[in-house]
Amino acid sequence: MNEQIHKVNGMLETFLENNADARKEQVDGEQGFNLYYIMSVTERKVIYQQITDPYFRYSKTQFGQHIQSIGEECPPDQLLLRLCKGQTVLIYDDRVYTIKKSLKYATRSVSTPQVEASIVGPLEAFVESMAINLNLIRKHYQNPDLRVVKFEVGTTSHVSGYLLYDNELADKTFVDNELAQIKKLTIPNAQAVSKVQQHLPKRRSLLFPRSVVTERPDRTSQALSKGKCVYLIETSPFASIAPISFHDFMASMDDSYMLPVYSYFLLVLRYFALLATVILPGAYVAFTAFNPEVFRVQLALSIAGSRAGLPYPAFLEVTFMLVMMELLVEASLRVPKTIGPAATTVGGLILGEAASQANLVSDIMIIVVSAVAIANFVIPINPMSQTVRVLKYLLLFMGTVAGFFGLTIGFVLLVGYVFTLHNSNYSLVQSFKASVSLSTKSASAGRQSS
Amino acid sequence: MRLSRTFGIGLCCLLLQGCQSDYKDIDRRQFIVMMSLDQADNGKFTLALKGVIPQLQNSGASSSTASFDIYKTTAASLGQAIQKVRQQLFLEPDYSHLKAVIFSEQFAERNDLTRYIDFFIRRRDFQDIAIVAISNNAEKVVSLHQEAERTTGDSVFMKFGEGANAEYNPIIQLQQVYKYSLTPGLTFYCPILNVSDDKVVSAGTALFGRDNRMKMKLTLLETKYFNLLRSGISRGFIILDPVKEYGIGIRLAKAEFRFKIEQDALLCDVHVKVQAQIEDSDVLDFSPSELQKLAKKKLDSDISSLLVKMQNNRVDPLQLGLKYWSKNPVRRLNNEWLTEDYPEMKFRVHSDVMITRTGTLRFNTDRG
Amino acid sequence: MNVLFYVSLLIYYMINHSLLNLPNVIDRNYLQNGLSALPIGLLLAALNAWMLLSVYNRFPKFTMVEINRYLCGKYLGNFLSIMYVALTAFFGFFMFRGLMEVIIEFLMPHTPVWFLAILLISVPSLALLHSDNSVIYMTAFFTLIAAVLMILVFWLGFKEIDPVMLQGVVYHGWKMPSLKGIVASAFVYGGYTGLYVMNPYFARTSIKLTFLLFVTVGLFLSLCGTVIPLAVWGPWALRNLNLIWIMTAETFSLDLFVLERGLFLMIPLLLITGYIGVFLYTYKGYRLLSLLMPRKATAKVIICCVLVSYVILSLLVQEPAVNYRYRELYMVVWFFYQNITGVLLYVLAKRKGRTPSAA
């Protein structure tokens, strides 16, 4: 027994030497009562109130019981990891205890949503703290059937996360499947919930997100009540929801708060925007360079006029403008907030006025590109919006290679591909209200059994 | 991995097609909006194409202010002519916006038009809905620059309902000419457009015989009645007094044909219904009922003389043969209609004029 | 919910065949055979559908392969299934080549045909990635698009109809029908053959609903599909035209956003129905084969070979008339196959039903 304590002591001493913010506190040298903790992730007050103070006030038996109740005995191999997780290691009576309560992470308070704005919805967003996030979810979803499963991801970073689901509503096989997948996760470092989510399916999806990432507790609550699973990660102010249907990417939370006609109107608008932003660049090339007979004569002539004298073919013109637009978007996203407006103003000026004045792009092209850019921002969920940003280049390529025919082929292939995507046995395009019998597994299982 | 390999192979295949493709930028195409065919010597014809020069976005690029260019050539067949005219072009000719084909009168009188129409139907790049018209000088219509044109050539193709909605223009498209010339027992018509005072002016209707050659012309007045009988008109004017030229305005006019066998002869009842309104104040001396009678008399006589005129020339642009066929399950449609039944047919015109409005702004008291 | 997908499958077949197949047969021979094939075709198709549906409803968890095996024994059953797969592959080619014709003529006249064929083959090869339910969803999605376009096209068609010609066509249309006409008009209703693969999803298909769709949507579409071109062009001019619906749409002038020619509403409709047609036929063939074959990989290899042969054959068969002739012939074969198996299965199912072992 003493042998082991000795070993543990040695381990802790080495840790102390290597980490400047680790502390050792000798409470009572005679009894060998030592505390070890990392100053930067622990609350001194808790240590004082819960450990040091009772030690001097309680009798020895009382204190023993007290320690038993607030701490837990720890196997030596877990010791350093727990120390790093903000727990206090306590060596008392030749035993090693760890005390969770002392953990203290720096966090910010609940603020308004930054990514998913809403007009009439609640103005709370998740933050990088599990306590607050769970608090928010429990506030929005007060149901005894809510299950919270804790897990740990990252083979090197050891970040803790939670899987939440409604026990009554969620599909059990799906949840079990997800939990099994989580156990198998081998990514070394995961700081964001979307990264964890990416690695959950058997084959990592390359283009289309398989989960909705949200910072809104109300969306999370809605998802739970539809029987979906919600993932939270300690380090991420976002929750991720699975399984999802494609429609979830196009739905904003306001849809359920606003009057039905208005929200349907918005939905139609968003799908139109999706279509426009994906197809327009390809269609511009396909129609101007391959099939100008599609346009009515007035439009054909005005495009021909605006393109006259341009030094390069239409597909280069589109690519050039699109790349400029992407740069502008990316720049205004990444530059410090203080010079952000300047970047967009300069870019907008150059792209809009000067390029057409210098006969580098046609006026109509500028309209097309700005329509594409604006339509892109209409898509409410950011990961989908990013996917769509890439998709339009695929269709642009197809339109350049084979005109309208290529464009339709590209569209059908794209849609066909989206339709093949599955998360476990939920199709990405499946309406969630559909009976589960439509999922591949159950039907084919039924076939084999008969 | 597998995905990227397939993608790579696909990309190589796509690039293999190289330069042999339909890619041609819109600014490297010469859009042709109008075409004319004039009779030339020794069986040839003169082809004239109106190629649009689009309005440039930056005036610095070119100093030309012309809005179109004319390409002319002479050939004996349309295919040859289209090939020959390429010698003059420096951009790829694009016929997909050819909106009007104009034949000269002499050309239409001497040639079977179907031969030429067939060319347009066969070629994929010509619209089948281009307008067909006849002119005394087709080339002049094509090479005319009318000041008020918004788009080059719309002085012709906007005339037929897309822009102006006039009583004098019986619209006909390439596909209709094709259809009527292939259907037995039918003949077709074309509007006549002439140039006067730097404007394209409607000048009546040309009627074609069964051999698809132009056979006769209708005057403007007859064209109005022809339009009324053919499809009805929604705007127009009936002149009641030949000297002072006052009359009543037409709000809506329609005709209906009914066929009967009476005393072993085919009888065609033509029912004309006109809703009219008072426009001129010259007619204030008459009561509406007097005007109705006057108009009815005028319509009856004018329409029957038009019908008889067409019958005597053995042209059937009103497609009475088709109308008769469509109501008679036992009848077959054939060319004998024009030579046997149609010339024997009798007409009886009943017109029915209703003056529906006497003017909103002022009353016109009925003295009768 | 599943009913909706079944309906969309039926409607997809109706749109596809009433625009692409039926007018070619009926309209060109209108002067000889008239329109009387349409109701006769409907009756025969309804009879066949009734027999097959009652058999398939009896075995709600079986596909065609298992039903054939169970009812006809191993050898005859497998033979029937394989024959159906072969028929599917053939019709896939006819659709493929027919689609190529439109693309070559109207979209890409100067691009090499082999390039177009390779690009086009990418759509049916997507079928190898799909599963039954994703195919159902995809069909429903594209049927919706096709239906919207088709309503637009028909609406334009109604505006362009020559009423005199329409009256004449309807009055004179009742003559002795030809076998080919009957077969082609029965082909329009062939959507229920989707059950050969999808039966486990749709089973207990409502026969009443099927008939209701036949009589309402199916008859309406096949009438519109044949009568509108006849009334627009007239039977005489139509005898000389290929690609009847395309030429009909070419006569529509419209005023819609940037478009002024009806042709460019028709071409997307034709492309979409064509793509999904080839895709569905390939998928059906692939799925049935993978049920027939001991290993799934074999089916994949066979389908790949079939697709490659599509490309090669479409380079060899350049004349559209040949395609049409063989397609008409094919439909006769299909029709006989369909009716013979229908009667056979129905009788066998009745007999086996009486023996207690089949419960």
What are the tens digits of pLDDT across the range C211-266?
Answer: 999 999 999 999 999 999 999 998 998 888 888 999 999 888 887 778 888 888 99
Q: Write the residue in C105, C111, C247 that is nearest to B20 by C-beta.
A: C111
pLDDT mean across residues, chain A = 84
- Cβ-Cβ contacts under 8 Å for B100 (sequence gap 6 or more): B33, B34, B35, B130, B131, B132, B133, B153, B156, B157
Q: Do A292 and B56 touch (CB under 8 A)?
A: no
pLDDT at residue C146 tops 90: yes
Q: Which residue, C265, C259, C299, C262, is CA-closest to C89?
A: C299
Q: Is B251 exposed, middle or buried (0-12, 13-18, 19+ CB in 10 A)?
A: middle
**What pLDDT shows up at residue B45?**
92
At the top level of CATH, the class of C2-358 is: mainly alpha
What are the tens digits of pLDDT across the range C36-70?
Answer: 999 999 999 999 999 999 999 888 888 888 889 88
Mean pLDDT for A397-403 is: 90
Residue A312, Ramachandran bin (φ over 0: left; ψ between -120 and 50: alpha; else beta)? beta
Distances in whole angstroms, Cα of residue C110 to Cα of each of A30, B29, B145: 97, 15, 35
pLDDT at residue A1 tops 80: no
Band (pLDDT 50/70/90 cuts) for residue A450 is: very low
A23 against B5, higher pLDDT: A23
Q: Are strands A229-233 and A239-242 parallel, antiparallel or unpaired?
A: antiparallel
Mean pLDDT for B76-104 is: 91
pLDDT at residue B363 tops 90: no
Mean pLDDT for B23-31 is: 88
Distance, CA of A160 to CA of A156 (rounded, Å): 12
User: What residues 104-163 of chain B have any CB closer than 8 A to a CB of chain A?
Assistant: 125, 127, 150-153
Mean pLDDT for B281-293 is: 76
A449 against C173, higher pLDDT: C173
The tokens 């139609």 sit on which residue? A268
Distance, CA of C319 to CA of C333 (rounded, Å): 22
Distance, CA of A383 to CA of A406 (rounded, Å): 27
Partners of residue A33 on adjacent β-strands:
A28
Instruction: Name the CATH architecture for the domain at B220-368.
Output: 2-Layer Sandwich (3.30)
Q: Do A443 and C260 touch (CB under 8 A)?
A: no
Best of C105, C131, C296 to mutate (most A CBs within 10 Å, chain A): C131
What does the buried/exposed string (b/e) look like for B140-170 if buried means 16 or more CB atoms within 10 Å of the residue's CB? bbbbbeeeebebbbbbbbbbbeeeeeebbbb
Q: Taking CA atoms, what residue in B is nearest to A290?
A: B23
Mean pLDDT for A23-43 is: 82
Q: Write the residue in A405, A413, A439 that is nearest to C126 by C-beta.
A: A413
Q: Is A176 exposed, middle or buried (0-12, 13-18, 19+ CB in 10 A)?
A: exposed
What are the tens digits of pLDDT across the range B293-324?
Answer: 888 988 999 999 999 999 999 898 988 889 99
**What pLDDT shows up at residue C84?**
93
**Is residue A363 within 8 angstroms of chain B, CB to CB?**
yes
- Cβ-Cβ contacts under 8 Å for B263 (sequence gap 6 or more): none
The 3-state secondary structure of C271-333, one letter per residue: HHHHHHHHHHHHHHHHHHHHHHCCCHHHHHHHHHHHHHHHHHHHHHCCCHHHHHHHHHHHHHH
What are the tens digits of pLDDT across the range A190-219?
Answer: 888 888 888 877 777 788 888 888 999 999
Least confident of A75-89, A283-297, B51-65, C287-301: B51-65
Least confident of A36-45, A102-111, A348-357, B172-181: A348-357
**Is residue B52 within 8 angstroms of chain A, CB to CB?**
yes
DSSP single-letter state for residue A201: S
Mean pLDDT for B49-54 is: 90
**What pLDDT shows up at residue A443?**
39
pLDDT at residue B368 tops 90: no
Residues of B with CB under 8 A from a CB of C: 10, 13-14, 16-17, 20-22, 124, 127-129, 173, 175, 178-179, 182-184, 319, 322-323, 325-329, 333
Q: What percent of chain A has pLDDT over 70?
A: 95
**What pLDDT shows up at residue C357?**
46
Distance, CA of B254 to CA of B271 (rounded, Å): 8
Distances in whole angstroms, Cα of residue A23 to Cα of each of A16, A102, B125: 7, 14, 85
**What pLDDT shows up at residue C183?**
93
Q: Write the residue in B21, B182, B319 that is nearest to C111 by C-beta.
A: B21
DSSP single-letter state for residue C161: -
* Nearest CA distance, C196 vs chain B (angstrom): 31
Q: Which residue, B291, B302, B293, is CA-closest to B247?
A: B291
**Is residue C133 within 8 angstroms of chain B, CB to CB?**
no
**Is residue C32 within 8 angstroms of chain B, CB to CB?**
no
Q: Are strands A71-73 and A95-99 parallel, antiparallel or unpaired?
A: antiparallel
Residues composing chain A = 450
Q: Do C2 and A299 touch (CB under 8 A)?
A: no
DSSP A101-138: GGB----------SSS--SSS------S-HHHHHHHHH
pLDDT at residue C195 tops 70: yes
**What pLDDT shows up at residue A361?**
84
The tokens 């054959």 sit on which residue? C313
Q: Write the residue in A406, A429, A446 that is nearest to C119 by C-beta.
A: A406
C327 against A445, higher pLDDT: C327
pLDDT at residue C319 tops 70: yes
Mean pLDDT for C327-345 is: 92
Domain spans, chain B? 26-56+64-218, 220-368
pLDDT at residue A424 tops 80: no
Q: Which residues of A touch C272 (CB under 8 A)?
A: 408, 412
Q: Which residues of C touch B127 (CB under 8 A)?
A: 250, 261
What are the tens digits of pLDDT across the range B250-266?
Answer: 888 999 999 988 888 88
Band (pLDDT 50/70/90 cuts) for residue C182 is: very high
Distance, CA of B359 to CA of B283 (rounded, Å): 12
DSSP A414-448: HHHHHHH-EETTEETT--TTS-GGGSHHHHHHHHH
Q: Taking CA atoms, what residue in B is nearest to A286?
A: B23
Angle between helices C219-233 and C2-20 (to 10 degrees): 20
**What pLDDT shows up at residue A434?**
41
Mean pLDDT for A152-159 is: 85
What ranges in B41-130 are assigned the alpha helix state H?
78-85, 105-110, 113-122
Q: What is the CA radius of gyration of chain C?
A: 20
Helices and strands counted in chain C (H then E):
18, 2
Domain spans, chain C? 2-358
Judge contact between B255 and B232, C-beta under 8 A.
yes
Q: Do B57 and A363 touch (CB under 8 A)?
A: yes
Q: Taking CA atoms, what residue in B is nearest to A303?
A: B26
Q: Which residues of A touch B3 (CB under 8 A)?
A: 206
Q: Taking CA atoms, what residue in A is nearest to B19?
A: A401
Partners of residue A161 on adjacent β-strands:
A151, A233
The tokens 């956003």 sit on which residue? C257
pLDDT at residue C354 tops 60: no
